[in-house]
């Protein structure tokens, strides 16, 4: 069972509903396997919380997970491998925890969190950057 | 120019960098046009804030925007039409503002915000729903 606390810890939200068209209706959901693998990988790290969520809306490109921290950007990932990417998500969570600018660095980011980026959302205190030239 | 305030208003974040491969390098960015159209559509509604952001990470399926409110779910949309979907985003923002459960209702949601859903992220105070059966 995963502990729930209202803290500023980095959170990994794992969709437990995701499955592929080839999955048998009674087969374990890949998303559920990913949630368990992520919780296992984060078990000894009190800085990371793992939460299960029924749907992240990324149904066509699952399995899906999001990583977020207050006052940092939120990242949504898709196409994750339930048997391999739990530790990748925990690595990403640690990168976000240590990011002083609130952005998950590209350097050191596991490959599945590079090619699997679905979206990112700025923190609530984000300031309009209309005057900044696009990169 | 769009006013910036740290309030609990519903915010529409519009990516101003999005463009398609066919766009000339010096052509107006579709995302920028969408940001302007959204700001125009929200001009007389003080409950909605429009912010510009350089990248929402949805580069392959832009133009992109996100709608969020504190203590509500955040929604990311893609494949938006810069000439048509500013008012759609404002309609979606109003739906989220009036949603007592923090979820943008499907009913009444403009079509571009149905077929263009990229992802949704629960609010910070979201509680793990591991014990809830998938729908």
Q: Which residue of B has its CA nearest to A56?
A: B120
Query: pTM of the predicted model, to two decimals?
Result: 0.89
Q: Do A121 and B54 touch (CB under 8 A)?
A: no
Nearest of A47, A69, A78 to residue A122 by alpha carbon: A69
Which residues from chain A sit within 8 angstroms of residue B56, using beta carbons?
119-121
ipTM of the complex: 0.88
The sign of the CA dihedral A116, B70, B106, B88 is negative
pLDDT in tens, A10-34: 999 999 988 777 778 788 889 999 9
pLDDT for B84 beyond 70? yes
- B36 pLDDT higher than 80: yes
Q: Rounded CA gap, B67 and A61, in Å? A: 21
A44's CB contacts (< 8 A; 6+ apart) are none
Q: What band does B2 get if pLDDT is binned at 50, 70 and 90?
A: very low
- Mean pLDDT taken over chain B: 88
For chains A and B, what is the number of CB pairs under 8 angstroms? 109
Interface test with B, best of A33, A60, A68, A130 (most B CBs within 10 A): A130
Check if A119 contacts B (Cβ < 8 Å): yes
Name the closest residue on chain B to residue A54, using Cα atoms: B134
With b meaning 16 or more CB within 10 Å and e meaning fewer, what string describes B44-63? eeeebbbbbbebbbbeebbb
Question: CA A104, CA A120: separation in Å to the nearest integer?
Answer: 10
Least confidently predicted of A52-56, B9-13, B128-132: B128-132
Whether chain A has a CB inside 8 Å of the CB on B117: the answer is yes
**A122 and chain B in contact, CB less than 8 A:** yes
DSSP symbols for B70-112: TTS-EEEE-S--TTTSHHHHHHHHHHHHT-TTSS--STT--HH
Cross-chain CB nearest to A4 (options B1, B74, B128): B128
Contact with chain B for residue A126, Cβ under 8 A: yes
Residues of chain A with Cβ-Cβ distance to B134 below 8 Å are 16-17, 29, 54
Q: Which of A76, A78, A70 lies closest to A102, judged by CA? A: A70
């Amino acid at each position: 069972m995963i502990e729930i606390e209202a803290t500023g810890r980095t959170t990994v939200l794992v969709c437990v509903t995701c499955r592929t068209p080839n999955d048998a209706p009674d087969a374990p959901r890949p998303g559920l396997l990913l949630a368990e693998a992520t919780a296992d990988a984060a078990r000894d790290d009190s800085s990371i919380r793992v939460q299960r969520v029924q749907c992240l809306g990324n149904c066509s490109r699952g399995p899906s997970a999001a990583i977020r921290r207050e006052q940092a950007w939120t990242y949504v990932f898709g196409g994750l491998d339930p048997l391999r990417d739990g530790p990748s998500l925990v690595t990403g969570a640690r990168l976000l925890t240590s990011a002083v600018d609130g952005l998950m660095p590209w350097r050191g980011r596991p490959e599945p969190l590079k090619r699997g980026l679905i979206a990112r959302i700025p923190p609530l205190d984000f300031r309009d950057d209309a005057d900044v030239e696009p990169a």
